[in-house]
Structure 1
Amino acid sequence: MNRTARRKKLFEIVVEEIKVLIQADGLVPGDKLPTERDLIEILNVSRTSLREALIVLQNSGYLNIIQGKGIFLNKDLRSEPLKDDLDDEKYLGYLHEARIIIECQLAKLAAERATSGDIKRLKEDLKRMENPRLSLKERIQADYDFHYGISDSAKNPILNEMLKQINEELYEARSITLSFPKGREKAITAHRRIYEAINQNDKTGAEKEMRRHIDEVYMAQKQIHVLKQQEKEEN
């Protein structure tokens, strides 16, 4: 099945519309986007959908949102990957491979290079994930922050940028996983194991636990894909 045939959620559509707006206006990294209020009027969307889209674009490295200053383009959009030419199942496999190559290495390097400040940051992000009072958006943000904390601890800016390239595609998987109590607890356990390995400078353990976590997310994504296929066939 071609990815374009999938019914997109509203925030996903808004993400694409913002990208089109950026390209149509010829914006380059460093340029300022319209305000949230203006974007709501331009795109004719709700504040909730817009903010969900902005979170996705910020976490994927496209935008830099500075409180009190505005929304700025952080990455050139003139060269986009042609992911829509791939069917869903193959794309999930490629994404899984990319995560294994990039994030397992990041975890291994983090276990070797993390400073006391890095460890403190990871611990704080983990505590946020464990907080049962957080909203779903806040849980997703804490999850993103934890993974970027590992990336920053690895002290490799090139791998950091590569992580940003793939993180946008994980929003839906994180959203579904963290929506349910069992999925949330499983994610917290996985992140706790990764944190402990990094904290103990256990390079092999950090790499192993990250691999286990990525494999679990991949299996969840495949199950979601199967359910969507069944739903489409029934309709």
Structure 2
Amino acid sequence: MIADSLFAPVVSTTAFEETLERLSTAIKLGLLEPGARLPPERELCEQLGIARSTLRQALTALVQSGHLVALRGRAGGTFVADPPPALQPRPESLLSWRETCDTRVAVELGVAVLAAERASADDVERLRALVAAMAEDVEDFGLYRQADVRFHIGLAEATGSPALVAAMTETQGAMGDLFAHIAHPPEVLAWANAQHGRLVDCLRRRDGAVAVRTMQDHLRGSEHVLAGLLP
């Protein structure tokens, strides 16, 4: 049955983003029909194999993006928006979004391991300050994104490689073109920024292996969000 596969356990270190993608994709495909009521939180958590806090973050993000509606009271619950967000034709620039993400993976994983080896104490503090700034800006994507771009380019600068700085700058420009087409719920931004903070800790400890795994989770999470929220 469709419901069995839709609500099969989520097995991922990016459970929040994967849950968001799975639900939003089901809405876009009509597998969850407009006006349909989602199962109760406890039941949904058991089916997906995720913590209630993770589910609530994903549901909140989808309410903020217009995919779901949360109603209080005796007849309340979480419902698919009716009508759901309008589907718009994808601009040509979005047709190769997965290739753009693949290029980002190639650049950012290399930057993560080298930055963990080479970052100075000043680099770490500058990056930590950007994480703090993003934490204050989750309600304003424009400000958040400015700091986000500086953070990722700052990681490249910490490698000491001008070529990687150039590659990261180009990559961030391409990703910005994609991000311009999706909603940016504060829950999604806060989750991503928590990963930024863990990356800074990896640089401070010079832990390249964990830095790479953390960056993989971060990039995979972005792909789930794009897959779920792109029109």
- TM bin (shorter chain): 0.5 to 0.7
Residues of 1 paired with 2:153 and 2:93: CA distance? 28
Hey, what does 2:94 align to over in structure 1? 88
Aligned to 1:165: 170
SS in 1 for 2:184: coil
Q: Per residue, is there more helix in 1 or in 2? A: 1
Which residue of 115, 134, 146 maps to 2:120? Answer: 115
Partner of 1:152: 157
Q: How far did residue 192 of structure 1 move? A: 1.1
Deviation at 1:224, TM superposition (A): 2.6
The whole-number CA distance in structure 2 between the counterparts of 1:118 and 1:207 is: 18
For the pair 1:189 / 2:194, whether they are aligned, the reply is yes
Letter of the 1:104 counterpart: L
Q: Is the 8 A contact 2:152 2:168 kept in 1?
A: no
- Residue 175 of structure 1, CA deviation: 5.4
Q: What is the letter of the counterpart of residue 205 of structure 1?
A: V
- SS of aligned partner of 1:155: coil
Q: Specify whether residues 137 and 221 from structure 1 end up closer, same or farther in structure 2 by C-alpha distance, changes over 3 A only.
A: same
- Work out the CA distance in 2 between the residues paired with 1:105 and 1:144: 17
Provide the C-alpha distance between the structure 2 equivalents of 1:186 and 1:133, rounded to a whole number of angstroms: 10
Give 2:224's aligned residue. Answer: 219
Residue pair 2:116, 2:203 contacting (<8 A) in 1 also: yes
CA contact (8 A) 1:112 1:201 kept: yes
Indicate the residue corresponding to 1:99 in structure 2.
104
Native 8 Å contact 1:197 1:205 kept in 2: yes
Structure with greater contact order relative to length (CA < 8 Å, sep ≥ 6) = 2
What amino acid maps onto 1:214 in structure 2? L
Question: What RMSD in Å do the two structures reach over aligned CA positions?
Answer: 2.4
CA distance in 2, matches of 1:210, 1:176: 23
1:140 matched to 2:149: no
> What stretches of structure 2 of length at least 5 have no aligned partner?
1-91
* In 1, Cα distance between equivalents of 2:109 and 2:137: 28
Contact 2:137 2:143 in 1 (8 A): no
Structure 1: give runs of 5+ residues left out of the alignment: 1-85, 229-235
Shift of residue 136 of structure 1? 2.5
Contact 1:178 1:184 in 2 (8 A): no
Query: Partner letter of residue 182 of structure 1?
Result: E
Specify the SS of the correspondent of 1:100.
helix
The alpha carbon displacement at 1:88 in A equals: 3.5
Percent of residue pairs bearing the same amino acid type: 21
Number of residues paired by the alignment? Answer: 141
Q: Which residue of 1 aligns with 2:205?
A: 200
1:136–1:175 Cα contact (<8 Å) kept:
no
Normalised TM-score (structure 1)? 0.55
Alignment partner, residue 69 of structure 1: none
